[in-house]
Structure 1
Amino acid sequence: MSQMIFVNLPTSDLDRADKFYSSLGFTKNDTFSDENATSWFIAENILVMVLREEFFSGFLVNGDVAVTGSGRRECLNALSAETREGVDQFVANALAGGGEIYRPADEPFPGMYQAAVQDPDGHVWEIAWMSPEAIENPGA
């Protein structure tokens, strides 16, 4: 079996989170979805698991608590886009699904176009496209 990655995120509203992740074009994985969690394929071996806060908390130890909403960030989930237009489409889909702009689209250096959105629970998803030239000659 190939190695997989599961990004596990708590949610305060599973139905609202499902609307958001569906709007991004992710494919629901019914095998790992139930009344406590919904699983979404981002790619063949990459899934996001959205878990009700109470269920998510059952996996935590040492007094840790689930975090949703704005404020402190432990991670930024980052995805690549196949085209510059793909970045803009991802952002548009996120907004249509109830997300918000976290960081507007910009081009921090030639050949890299990026933006970031947050889901309804405040989890941030970055999306970036890099031109083939930028990939082949980083820093040039």
Structure 2
Amino acid sequence: MARMIFVNLPVADLPVAVAFYEAIGGTRNPQFSDHTAACIVFSDTIHVMLLTHDKFRAFTPRPIADARAASEVLLCLSCDSRDAVDAMVEAAVSGGGAADPGPKQDYGVMYGRSFQDPDGHIWEPMWMDVAAMQSCPQGA
């Protein structure tokens, strides 16, 4: 069985967060969603759990970080092409996010951008030419 990842994110407004993640290509799984949480599926192995602050607090005694003021994690998603990277960032902006809180990265064989969701969480869609990367010398 392939390993799966469930990224749990605290969100201030669940319907706004769901609409945003659907705008960038996720699909809501109603089986694991209710008025306190929504499971957004990106693939068979990648899921994002959007949790209201009250629901998120049930899983940890630590305070919820303000993702607009501090960085705790950068979430990177692979894309099939450079155009797919740009399309995801454009969809993020159309869905209520902000484009490129970090600098664009263009190394020829690797291309990445970033966007911020409505709660300030930063995502980095990236494309990599795997064949070209395999032929590069180590550390290049």
Task: Tell me, yes or no, whether TM beats 0.5.
Answer: yes
SS at match of 2:47: strand
CA contact (8 A) 1:12 1:68 kept: no
Q: TM-score, normalised by structure 1?
A: 0.90
CA contact (8 A) 1:37 1:50 kept: yes
Seq. identity, % = 39
1:69 CA displacement: 3.6
Counterparts of residues 1-140 of structure 1 (less than 5 Å): 2-61=2-61, 64-101=62-99, 102-107=101-106, 109-139=107-137, 140=140
The whole-number CA distance in structure 2 between the counterparts of 1:91 and 1:16 is 17
SS at match of 1:135: helix
1:51 CA displacement: 0.4
The whole-number CA distance in structure 1 between the counterparts of 2:103 and 2:23 is 19
The whole-number CA distance in structure 2 between the counterparts of 1:2 and 1:114 is 26
Q: For the structure 1 residues 138 and 20, does the alpha-carbon distance in structure 2 shift closer, same or farther, using more than 3 Å as the test?
A: farther
The whole-number CA distance in structure 2 between the counterparts of 1:3 and 1:111 is 27
Aligned length: 137
CA contact (8 A) 1:10 1:68 kept: no
The whole-number CA distance in structure 2 between the counterparts of 1:36 and 1:119 is 18
Deviations 1:62-116 (A, max 9, x none): xx11123412111101001101100000001000110002225331x22111100
Q: TM-score, normalised by structure 2?
A: 0.90
Gaps of 5+ in 1: none
Spell out structure 1 runs of 4+ moving beyond 3 A. Answer: none
Q: For the structure 1 residues 88 and 104, does the alpha-carbon distance in structure 2 shift closer, same or farther, using more than 3 Å as the test?
A: farther
SS at match of 1:134: helix
The whole-number CA distance in structure 2 between the counterparts of 1:138 and 1:73 is 31
Gaps of 5+ in 2: none
**Larger strand share, 1 or 2:** 1
